[in-house]
Each structure stands twice: as C-alpha cells, then as structure tokens.
Amino acid sequence: MEYPDLSVSPNIQGIFFRGYTKLDQAAYGFFKVTDRAAFQRWLDGMLAGGRITSAAEKQPADSVQNRMNIAFTAPGLKALLEDGFLGESYDHSFTGGMVAPERSRILGDVDANDPRHWHWGGHDEIHGVLMSFAPTKEVARDELLACLCANNGADCVHHSFGGLERTHKEPFGFLDGVSQPVVAGTPRETFLKRERPKEAKLMVVPPGELILGYPDGTGKLPETPATSAGLDPDGILPPHPTWNERRDFGKDGSYLVFRTLEQHVDAFWDYVNEVATGEENDTPIDLAEKMVGRGMDGRALAPNPDAENNNNSFDFTDDRDGKFCPIGSHVRRGNNRAVNIRNEKVSLDVTQRHRILRRARIYEEEGETGLQFICFQASIVRQFEFMQSTWCNNAFFQGLQKEVDPIIGTPRAPRGGVGPVDRFTIPRTPYRRVLKSVPQFVTVKGGAYFFMPSLDALRFVAQSCAAATALKSVPRAPEEGPADAL
C-alpha cells in the first residue's frame, strides 16, 4: 500500500515528527480553561501568529529560538467544545482519564505510584498542556509563561521542564531513543528499505498506527473523534468517515500520553552492585544490561545481529529462551520483535499493532531526576495501556512467574497469601540466574491522557464558541400544529 509523506504535513503538529533536537530544552505548562471565549481568542491569535508549529517546519535553524505545540485532555475539550465534544467517539481510556481507578490498576499506579502522591494530574483538573521548546531552559520557560500569563482565559496549574542530553543517555546511563517506529511513506522508510531492509521490516509501521485519518496495520482507518457539523459552518474539518452529519475532529491528530517518571538512579546501581558476584558475565554492568535488554551503548543483546546495523536489525527468533536478551527485560517486554507467536509474520504483525512513538526528555527538579515521558499512538487502550498491563506489568509474561519489567514495572509485596512479585530471571546454562527482591526503580510523579489535534482541528476549536453563539441565534421555524378542525 502506498502512503503519503506525512513528515512534511502542514496539518500535523511539529513535535510528532521533529522532536526538536536542536531545541534541546523544554517547558511544559499544564493549564485549566477558565474563560472559554477568551481562550479561543488566544488560541486563534497563536495560530494566526504561527506560534503553534507544524511538521512542515523542519528542524529549526540556529536562529530559531522557540517552537510550541499544544494538546488537550477530555475535560479540556469538553470545556472548549461543550456540546461539540462527543465523548463516545474518542478512545475510552482518554475520556475516562489516567487516574480513574480501573486505569490505575491497569497501569500499576498503586502504592508508591498512586495518583494521590503525584505532583500534578492526580488531584488537580488539567485541561491541556502547552509545550515550549527552546535552546535554553530560560527561553523555553519565558516563552511558555508569557503565553500562559497573557489574558488567555486559562490558569497555569503546574509547569515543569525537560531536556535532551548531548550524550543521548537517560539517567540510568543507557543510550536512549535507539528504537523508534518509522512511519510508512516518509523518507526514512525509503532510506531503510534501500540501505537496511531487515530493520525496515521490523521498524516501519503504517501511519494509522500512530496518526488518525490513515490506514493502520489492518488496512482500515482507526476510530477517530467526531464533532458537530453545526459548529463548523466554514467546513474547516473533513466529513467524518463513519458518522453521517458529523465532522472528523481526529484526522492528522494523535493521542498523547504524558507521565513524569522519577528514576531512582542510586538505588538501581546500588542494587546491581550488591547482587553481582563479580564473576564472568556477572558484573554490575552485566546485570544492568540484562535488566534493560541492551548494552549501555545501545548495542543489541542478540545472537543474530545484522551487519547493516547492530542496534535495530535483529529479532529474537534465535533467542526464544532469552539467553542473550532475557525474556523479562525492559526492551524485550516493550517490543517482542516477532517472537511471541511461532508464526513469524503473524507475530510481527501483532507486535507492530502495539508500537508507540516516544518523545521523552530528562528532568531534574527538587532533588528528583527522571523522564518527562511522552508518547504518541492511535489508541491508548491498544498501545500504551496494552504495553503497560499485558507486557510490562504482567507477572506471568511469556511463561515467567512472579516478575514484572525490572525497570518500569511495579513490584508487588506479599498480600492475601500470595507471595511477592519482585524477581528477575536471567536464563543461563547450566543454571538460570534469578535476582530476588528487585526494588522499584521508577516512580510515577504525574500524568494525564491528552489528544493532540491537527492545526485544522485547532482552528475549529478557536472558532467554535462564535459558531455555537451564531447557531443559537438562528431563529427556529415554528412547529406545525394539528390542522384546524373544520
């Protein structure tokens, strides 16, 4: 199937494709709408001034000081669109919210991760996030606050920061961002198919897996949010593909998951130093790499690395027992690479249906360090939540017992007669190596589910209040009563 090159789309917000690596500092402002009309006027001005940037604006030149993008929660869209927010057309996890009790159980947001302990998102009402990217933290912050402190009809509830390390390493010291899905139809796909065909087979996904409005891995359009046609008198949005008399609010948009994840760096390295024997293949670094599932430099732990690119041109078909990359490792739980079903093609197709596109940055605030984790997907339920519950926090993942993802999983203390879930197994010959009492190394400190609309959808939001007012002012035709009796 042929796909358009969406990487230069003027309708997709820029953070999706660009990542803004040259603008390596970011400020995130979480806000609540207090005046619908004022906010929409502010948004209209931001769009008219080119402040919300698209994928068509490629990696900024050195002279560019700022890029901004924006996304909304379900309560935020409800506040802005009112009757135009058709909640049943959205992903149900998005409308329910990240902190709903059933979501907390699915995500492992219990005990230390309980939303009651979060810095943001757990006890405050968040309507949206404005993301500001700049070459320095000061510029990112000043641009963000200048926008949020303007008479924009919104209050800034919380703001925080994130940055990209020059070494591209995350706080535990591992090379980050090594494996990302590649959107079909983009120049990157063309390059991989020509230069690294095996990597292309494993990494390329149809655009509809990550962006709404295009075919996904089934060849069908993913479900997309709808809105009222009456609020769109100028036809800004396209017709909805399945709902008659509705507009497609979702096309060229994507669901955005945002989580602030504190990493307990000292605890991680203290643990592997304590349990390592120092023998061959059992040093602290050996154990850390087995838990992560990659070398600290990003190299693959695989028996069949491909000469074209050792970092991504591999799968686990020759390592089904996990002697090279343990089955329960963080990397292997997050991307099975065509091994969880015996039929390789079916297995790969299944795995590709659960990919996410990450846009994480490191934060250091008030004695904490960790990741501002951001990811994009076409379905929060099928992608992010599936990964978290079925893969990362599954204590019986692919035949394992009593262990979760050793990096981001939520260990479980003994309760109700059930023993602890806190082990990590490293298959070896002749005997496996089992690490016990693995503590929690990552703690959730905030989070919410957002939808990042297209530029057209933002224009629709900006005029919807005026459109609703105009619609209400149209006089109704008098109702016809029964005919007069003769």
Which H or E run includes 357?
strand 357-358
214, 220, 221, 223 alpha-carbon torsion, rounded to 10°: -150
Beta strand 204-205 with 182-183 is parallel
User: DSSP for 138-185?
Assistant: HHHHHHHHHHHTSSSSEEEEEEEEEE--TT-B-TTS-B-S----EETT
* pLDDT (tens place) for every residue of the chain, 486 residues total: 889 999 999 999 999 998 898 899 999 999 999 999 999 999 999 999 999 999 998 766 677 889 999 999 999 999 999 999 999 999 999 999 999 999 999 999 999 999 999 999 998 999 999 999 999 999 999 999 999 887 789 999 999 999 999 889 999 999 998 889 999 999 999 999 999 888 898 899 999 999 999 999 999 999 999 999 999 999 999 999 999 889 999 999 999 999 999 999 999 999 999 999 999 999 999 999 999 999 999 988 987 666 555 578 788 888 889 999 999 999 999 988 765 556 666 667 778 889 999 999 999 998 999 999 999 999 999 999 999 999 999 999 988 999 999 999 999 988 877 889 999 999 998 999 999 999 999 999 999 999 999 999 999 999 988 877 776 765 655 544 444 433
pLDDT of res. 166: 87
pLDDT of res. 473: 67
User: DSSP for 213-238?
Assistant: TS--TTSSPPP--EEEGGG-TT--SP
| Residue 80 C-alpha from the chain's centroid | 23
Radius of gyration, alpha carbons of the chain: 24
Q: Phi first, then psi: give them for residue 470, nearest 5 degrees.
A: -65, -40
pLDDT of res. 303: 78
pLDDT of res. 340: 56
The Cβ of residue 273 has, within 10 Å, a number of other Cβ atoms equal to 14
The Cα–Cα gap between 81 and 75 comes to 10
Place of tokens 């109702």: 479
Q: Are 393 and 404 in contact (CB under 8 A)?
A: yes
pLDDT of res. 477: 53
Any alpha helices (H) in 371-454, and if so which ranges?
386
Helix (H, G, I), strand (E, B) or coil at 452: strand
pLDDT of res. 341: 55
pTM across the whole model: 0.94
pLDDT of res. 336: 80
The Cα–Cα gap between 328 and 332 comes to 7
CA distances for 146 relative to 455, 463, 464, angstroms: 21, 23, 25
Q: Are 215 and 1 in contact (CB under 8 A)?
A: yes
CA angle 323, 327, 330 (to 5 degrees): 120
What's the DSSP call for residue 477? P
| Residue 382 C-alpha from the chain's centroid | 12
